[in-house]
Amino acid sequence: MSSSYYYRTLDHREKLEDKAFTTSDGVSGWIIRENYWNVPDQPVSGDEVVIVVLDNGAKDSLTLFHSQAPIEDQRRKDKVADALATLSKR
């Protein structure tokens, strides 16, 4: 949510996930997934935002994965799911 446009059109948030996450190769982290719903009459209903923070093993450093896809775009959300399923340190 990088510009004031999003703040003006944001209607409400819907938390979908907020829990521990483990990558396909066993790296521990945390996942937050939320729907950000727009006010009516916008080009899209809103966005599904996914943020994963991972412990990459380096002191004072974390790895961040972020994605954002329109709520009604299942094709893009499936790509995000595929990326999450194969997320690894390699």
Instruction: Encode pLDDT of 19-51 as tens digits.
Output: 999 999 999 999 999 999 999 988 889 999 999
pLDDT digits (tens, 9 = 90+) for 61-80: 999 999 999 999 999 999 99
Q: What is the reported pLDDT for 5? A: 64
Q: What is the pTM of this model?
A: 0.85
CB 17 within 8 A of CB 31: yes
Q: What is the reported pLDDT for 44? A: 84
pLDDT at 1 exceeding the cut of 70: no
Give the C-alpha separation, 13 to 37, whole Å: 6
